[in-house]
Amino acid sequence: MSNILALAQKELRSYFMSPVAYVVLGLFAVLFGVFFVASINLMVQLSMGQFGAGGPQIVNINEFMIRPLLGNTAVVLLFMLPMLTMRSYAEEKRSGTMELLLTSPLSNFQIVMGKFFGAMALYTLMLALTLIHIGVLFWYGEPEWAPLLTGYLGLLLMGGSFISIGLAISSTTKNQIVAGVTTFAILLLFWVINWLGDASGTTTQSVLAYLSVLEHFDDFSKGVIDTTHLTYYGSFIAIGLFLTAKSMDRERWSG
């Protein structure tokens, strides 16, 4: 466990010693801010009754502001998290430090977990930045706690899935760009996969809908914790990390 912690700290440190952490944190904060302002405007317009009849009315801030905001955030993450994982293995292979890790008394599992927790730590920091905006909401309004908490739990789990897939892909190549682009493409595929199901039969449709990574996030942002979704993200992460560990073995055998 101490080994994993050492590895995770090393990962986090290298994010902050390179521009990666600053670029990702900065851009994410800007994008989140834009979405935040846009959602506020939308909600204000809604409450003024500008859409349809009736004049001013009370609008649920969780339903009409926070939920779409978190949904947009999920899409931004799909673009940004591949940037965190694309260098995880590529850099170590290029600089020869992979040789240090693989000849140290560490199991593949420990190395993978170290990298996973390192990336998760930075990702948690990204999410923590958004709490400033949420704080503003609490200052001026009265949002409900529970759906916010589940929403952030959902974001963490979904981000974890993105990171674990990103690691698995990074472990197969020495090239950062290839790792980044492939991760992005695969995540995009998991986002849009349910669109394929629209015209097909109900079984295919439901299978494809189940696979879609963003579909499972929706309930979390509504304040619902469903074991189906927990299982989905849990297995997504586990499979990603398992594939990473296996791919490290494969790399060694093929040499």
Partner 1 sequence: MVEVQHVTKRYGSLTAVDDISFSVERGEILGFLGPNGAGKTTTMRILTGYLPATEGRVRVAGFDLFDQPIEAKRRTGYLPETPPLYPEMTVAEYLQFVARINSVPAGDRQTLIGSAMERTSITDMANRYCGTLSKGYRQRVGLAQAILHNPNVLILDEPTAGLDPRQIIETRRLITELAGDHTIILSTHILPEVSQTCQRVVIINRGRLVAVDTPDNLTARLQGSQTLYLQIDTQGADPIPTLEGVAGVVGVTPADERRGVAAYHVDCGSATDVRRELSRVVVENRWGLLELRPLQMSLEEIFLQLTTEDAAPDTLEASSLTEADNAPVAETEAHADE
When asked if residue 13 is in the footprint of partner 1 (CB under 8 A), the reply is yes
| In the complex, least distance from residue 239 CB atom to partner 1, rounded to whole angstroms | 24
Show the site string, 83-102: x = touches partner 1 by CB under 8 A, - = not: ------------xxxxxxxx
Contact 194, 211 (CB under 8 A): yes
CA angle 62/67/68 to nearest 5° reads 130
Interior angle at CA 22, CA 189 and CA 168, nearest 5:
35
Token pair 């199991």 in the structure block, residue: 107
Nearer to partner 1, 228 or 254 (CB): 254
Distance CA 69, CA 170 (A): 30
| Minimum CB–partner distance for residue 37 and partner 1 (Å) | 36
Distance, in Å, from the CA atom of 183 to the CA atom of 177, rounded to the nearest integer, reads 10
CA–CA gap between residue 209 and residue 222 (Å, rounded): 18
Interface mask toward partner 1 for 17-46; x: CB under 8 A: xx----------------------------
Structure-block tokens of residue 218: 């929706």
Binding-residue pattern over the window 96 to 135 for partner 1, x denoting contact by CB under 8 A: xxxxxxxxxxxx----------------------------
Q: Kindly state the number of chain residues that form the binding site for partner 1, as judged by CB under 8 A.
A: 26
Name the nearest CA neighbour of 123 among 84, 76, 180: 84
Task: Give the position of tokens 């674990």.
Answer: 164
| Residue 2 lies near partner 1 (rule: CB under 8 A) | yes
Piece of 13-21, 155-163, 173-181, 204-212 that binds partner 1 (CB under 8 A): 13-21
Q: By C-beta, is 18 or 45 nearer to partner 1? A: 18
Single-letter code of the amino acid located at 253:
W
Binding footprint of partner 1 on the chain (CB under 8 A): 2-3, 6-7, 10, 13-14, 17-18, 95-107, 252-255
